[in-house]
Structure 1
Amino acid sequence: MTTSHDVHDGLHSENGAHRGEHSGRHPNPVIKVEDLAWLEFEKPDLVQTAAFAADFGFTPTLHTADELHLRGTTAGPPCVIVRRSHRSAFIGPAFRAAADADVHTFAERGGVPVERLPETLGGIAATTKDPSGAFVRVVSGVIEHPESAAQPVWTTYNMGDHRPRINGTQRAPRTPAMIERLGHVVVQSNRYLESLNWYLEHLGLIVSDFLFYDGQRDRGPVMSFIRCDRGGIPSDHHTLAMTLGPSNRYVHSAFQVRDLDTLAAGGEYLRDKGRYRSWGIGRHIQGSQIFDYWRDPDGFLVEHFTDGDLFDCTVEPGWAPMTASGLAQWGPPTTADFLGIAPGKESLRELRSILSSLRSGDTEFDVQRLLGLMKVAKS
């Protein structure tokens, strides 16, 4: 007689903290941001960038020789701002403050000026750096583009005894999955805990889930999924996610689409266009969202997602071991490309970062953490 074993057993957020572990929030934050506003990048070829953006489902609001703004269908500022440069780089996130006064409070605490943003964006911003050296903006009063036409609803589901689709068919067209909004960004830091505490204190973010290396829980977490604290108003399970690693770098960003059919048909469209799927389709555990990951022409990892979790401020952080199998409830095996260990420039850069970090001894990434990370890759 054989018995089955659920590889996801014990990985869900219902498993809480032990006594004395990180609370996942700051008792008196400087401000509480409401959401991500946009992400900023630099890239050398904006024509190439715009072509991929159209295939991925963005709509441009500005496209000049030097700058590209990309939006979703929901009302608000652009999701992504790309400026032309000789290099490809992630510059950093902009977070939306509740009011101008919060931008001034944030600026005063950080000793930075409050500046007017260009007319194409409107509003004001205060810009500083987190402990990892990444640029972080807090903005308010920015341009609100009106809601635009959403993806047509072509899905009427027959499920169980509820079967409303009679004498009709289900035919999702193979078109771009229209981006609705920016969901989250994931970054890696070699000063993970220091950076995490900075975001909790300065932006009022709170942790939804912690991950730790198997056998190293006593050393604390190595990844956190962090949301905005809107009180009783639900927020995305994570607006920002941070993980410990040998280098400070962008990992991926995620953009919401309408539903599974939209995501899947949009993926077929991207595949027909010769775009590179990194990993998917599947459903995550932390956050629960259905995902599909793609590489843009500059190598940045971007995600279509739908059906993500929403938490209000009452939900305490979950704790779980970090494993490759724990990244999804269902879907294909995690790819080497997604994990950043596929042969190529990215994995070589990460190897150099490992050697540099271990030699310097000036980061949170040490030999024990390296062994924990290697165990994750094999899991």
Structure 2
Amino acid sequence: MQLLTAQPARHPSPTTKATSLAHLIFERPDLKQAERFLVDFGLSVASRTDEVLYMRGTSGAPYCYRVHRGDKPRFVGLGFTVGDRVDLEKLAALPGAGSIERVEDPGGGERVFLRDPAGFAVEVLHGQTLVAELPHREPLQLNSTGELRRVNGTQRPPAKPPEVIRLGHSVLEVANYQTTSAWYTQHLGLIPSDVQVLPDGSPAVTFFRLDLGDTPADHHTLALAQSFMPLYSHSAYEVVDADAIGMGQRVLREQGWKHAWGIGRHILGSQIFDYWEDPWADKHEHYCDGDMFTADRPTGVHVVSREAMSQWGPPMPTSFTKPRLTPAAIGMLIRNLRRSPDLTLRKLVTLARLFA
């Protein structure tokens, strides 16, 4: 396949190398409604005030989801951790970066505020204190042909929200695709695991992982997709096994939440997945059994299509990637068609046809 546009690539000397995706940041007009969905989804309250809600999984991360009270619902940004205070000093020296400051959120530590080229806030933390892990059930023992692991026993997973272990990844849509991709590889050391390209060879989606050397990292911690404006696509949260995903579907349906897509298995990343919408139609994914890559795994290149999104399960609904065309969104579409070198009307028409 001939690649006509430069693909996102590893930076030879990144400013820092992020060590984890720490948290996501949202604004919501109703914190109680936000909490109700997130608890049904499988997160637990770490801390709350009248103005801020912190949610956590069962891992030692003090929180993975922060919700501020705001007049309108919106995705604000995301937080990463780095391994050394020197990394914060390097990031604080970048143009437009904030100074190093103490963190008052759960876990404490220090942080630097940045803004990526798409306009999303990026908090980079160091020195955050881990907390005691919460209990969660063990993966179910499965019988298979030739290997009986459960004899004289039964499967009875509890009928309750699945216990989210941790935040796994977030997927964002951007207009200035190449610049934003380059920013994350240059300043946080992210590695492109797989790139999905359009028929002309230009990139449409890149799945980035952390560079943890010989330590296996999630296939993607951040994915960036070509769009006409910056948008939150979804975020993903690991649960212990496929039965937890199935039980999550049962509980969320019974609680009246809106299903978005699933259950199925992705091709790139291989996760078994199920997607749900929160009260403001933002998508949240349960997943398990994702691919883990070390730093020496090369980047893969694949043709993008609806069919390339899953190995099995229901086809991806056309509504899954369909933007809400508000007057503000239409105005941004027109502006970004004029400004972004990555965005053309032909490319938008191609994307719309591929996912129609």
Which bin holds the TM-score, normalised by the shorter protein?
Answer: over 0.9
Deviation of the 1:34 alpha carbon? 0.6
SS of the counterpart of 1:188? strand
1:1-379 map, 5 Å? 22=7, 24-110=9-95, 111-118=97-104, 120-150=106-136, 152-153=137-138, 155-214=140-199, 216-217=200-201, 220-340=202-322, 346-348=324-326, 352=330, 355-357=333-335, 360-378=338-356
- For 1:62 and 1:24, the matched residues in 2 are separated by 39
Listed as ranges, the gaps of 5+ residues in structure 1 are 1-15
Aligned pair in 2 of structure 1 residues 350, 251: CA closer, same or farther (>3 Å)? farther
Mapped to 2, the partners of 1:359 and 1:34 lie a distance apart of: 35
CA RMSD in angstroms, aligned pairs only: 2.0
Distance 1:33 1:305, change over 3 A: same
Distance 1:278 1:23 in 2: 29
- Structure 1: how far apart are the matches of 2:4 and 2:321? 32
Change (3 A) 1:358 1:82: closer
Q: CA deviation at 1:119?
A: 5.2
Assess, with a 3 A threshold, how the Cα gap between structure 1 residues 17 and 308 changes in structure 2: closer, same or farther: farther
- State the one-letter code of the partner of 1:37: A
- What number of residue pairs does the alignment pair up? 355
For 1:190, give the aligned amino acid. Answer: A
Query: Per-residue CA shift, 1:68-126, capped at 9, x if unaligned?
Result: 10000011220101111111111101100111111111111344311111153411111
Query: Which piece of structure 1 moves more, 281-290 or 111-120?
Result: 111-120
**Deviation for aligned residue 1:23:** 6.2
Task: Determine if contact 2:62/2:106 at 8 Å carries over to the other structure.
Answer: no
Q: CA–CA distance in 1 between the matches of 2:336 and 2:106?
A: 44
For 1:271, the aligned partner's letter is R
Would you say the 8 A contact 1:284–1:328 is kept in 2?
Answer: yes
Instruction: Work out whether residues 357 and 366 of structure 1, in 8 Å CA contact, stay in contact via their aligned partners in 2.
Output: no
Assess if the C-alpha contact under 8 Å between 2:176 and 2:340 holds in 1: no
The SS at the match of 2:203 is coil
* Structure 1 Cα separation of the partners of residues 243 and 182 of structure 2: 39
1:349, distance to aligned residue in structure 2 (A): 6.1
Deviations 1:130-166 (A, max 9, x none): 111111111111131211111x237221101111322
% same residue: 35
Contact 1:33 1:229 in 2 (8 A): yes
1:315-356 Cα offsets, whole Å, 9 max, x none, are: 111001110111000000111231226xxxx24469625742
User: Do the aligned residues in 2 keep the contact of 1:154 with 1:172 (CA within 8 Å)?
Assistant: no
Q: How far does residue 171 in structure 1 lie from its aligned partner after superposition? A: 2.5
2: distance between equivalents of 1:141 and 1:93? 17
Return the alpha-carbon distance in structure 1 between the equivalents of residues 327 and 37 of structure 2: 25
Deviation of residue 367 (structure 1)?
Answer: 1.4
Is 2:175–2:336's contact at 8 Å kept on the other side of the alignment?
A: no
SS at match of 1:297: coil
Provide closer, same or farther for how the CA distance between residues 285 and 229 of structure 1 changes in structure 2, counting only shifts above 3 A: same
User: What is the SS of the residue equivalent to 2:305?
Assistant: coil
Runs of 4+ that moved beyond 4 A: 16-21, 347-351
**Cα distance in 2 between the residues matched to 1:107 and 1:278:** 39
SS in 2 for 1:264: helix
Q: What is the match of residue 13 of structure 1?
A: none
| Alpha-carbon spacing, 1:119–1:207, altered in 2? closer, same or farther (3 Å) | closer
Gaps of 5+ in 2: none
**Structure 1: distance between partners of 2:294 and 2:112:** 27
